[in-house]
Amino acid sequence: MTNMPENHKTTHDSYTAVFPLDIESIMFIQMGIQIPSSTDTSPVISQVNALIDKYPTHIDTAIHSEDKDTVNVLFLCYFKDIKVYDEWRNSPKIMTFLNGNHTISGRFGLSFEAFRIFIDEFETTHSSNSQRDGVSHFTPLEVSKKHEYWGAMRDRIPASVHQSFPGSNKKITVSTTEDKTFVHLPKNSCFIRTVQDLTDVSAEEKKLYEEMIRPVLHRGVQHLATDSNSGCLAIKGVEEVNTAGDKKDIHSVLAYFQSLDHLEQWSKSHKTHLSIYGTYFKLLKEQENKTSIRLWHEVCLLDDDRTEIFYLRCKSNTGLLRNV
């Protein structure tokens, strides 16, 4: 069943990722290094990149802070080949590192959030065909009519034709070892990475973004982070950086939801998202319907049996630990 209105016509082109038939699933991991906020991030980035090596198909690096005392350096890694991921994950140096033994200078916390994403339970949308966003680094984009209406996100998930992905009433559960806290997600929870790329934006448009978009986006993130009824399990705003730790003018929000329904309900009906949506179109109007801001997101369904999520020596407000 489709949510697309009859005779639907789009006003702007939008693109979505298309995978070769021989790719059934990919791996995505968020590996975080939690260090004191006074620590220089560039040595950490270079040391972890050397550890990660060239196994991932693509890596983005970002930073964010959950409080004034710590900073988290995030490595967002995509593997288009599950076998390559397994080889990397089971290599002695990675096993040693993920068990808390490492050569990185200084004491730090480690978060590891890995999930196998089945392509038929995954969707993307991109405002441009730049081939430099997330999975588009290794798979093509094509124009999609499935946008500019409520329910388009679900329609872009191939398996939604025959599945509704009902959410579970179960909460996050944990198990522990001596050092690690493992987090187990409820069935049919979901994850979204949504990005605003200002790399090619003029100073004038960037000023409009800072004045108009960023405040309402921040309010949306704060609402989801604090409202226990929203169905948001964890959320963080991050700033992408280069290998030297310098910011790149790319802003991401990474969030887990109890279900696809919860994400849809917030998007469709809550005032904080409607404000984001409406303010973006006000910005467009200010610029005669033209913008150099590149927007994109990726959404996937998750299940505990294809995720590995744990925290080692992290503060209790880190990631999914906040809701445990």
Summarised one tens digit per residue, pLDDT across range 5-19 is 999 999 889 999 999
pLDDT reading at 281 higher than 90: no
What pLDDT does residue 106 have? 64
User: Tell me: the pLDDT tens digits for 86-95?
Assistant: 999 999 999 9
313 or 107: whose pLDDT is higher? 313
Task: Quote the number of domains for the chain.
Answer: 1
- Does residue 1 form part of some domain? no
Give the tens place of pLDDT for each residue, 107-163. Answer: 689 999 999 999 999 999 999 998 899 999 999 999 999 998 999 999 999 999 999
Report the pLDDT value the prediction gives residue 104, as an integer from 0 to 100. Answer: 64
Measured in residues, the chain has a length of 324
Is 8 a member of any domain?
no
Instruction: Read off the tokens for 88.
Output: 């990397």
168 to each of 114, 115, 260, 319, how far by Cα in Å?
21, 18, 11, 20
**Mean pLDDT estimate for the chain:** 93
Residue 70 lies in a domain: yes
Listed in sequence order, the DSSP H helices in the chain are 41-52, 82-89, 92-98, 152-155, 203-208, 214-226, 260-269, 271-286
Classify residue 12: in a domain, yes or no.
no
- For 58, the token pair is 């693509």
For residue 99, what are the domain limits?
A: 20-323
Query: What is the percent of the chain where pLDDT is above 70?
Result: 98
Residue 97: CB partners within 8 Å, gap ≥ 6?
51
Evaluate whether residue 14 is within a structural domain.
Answer: no
pLDDT at 103: 60
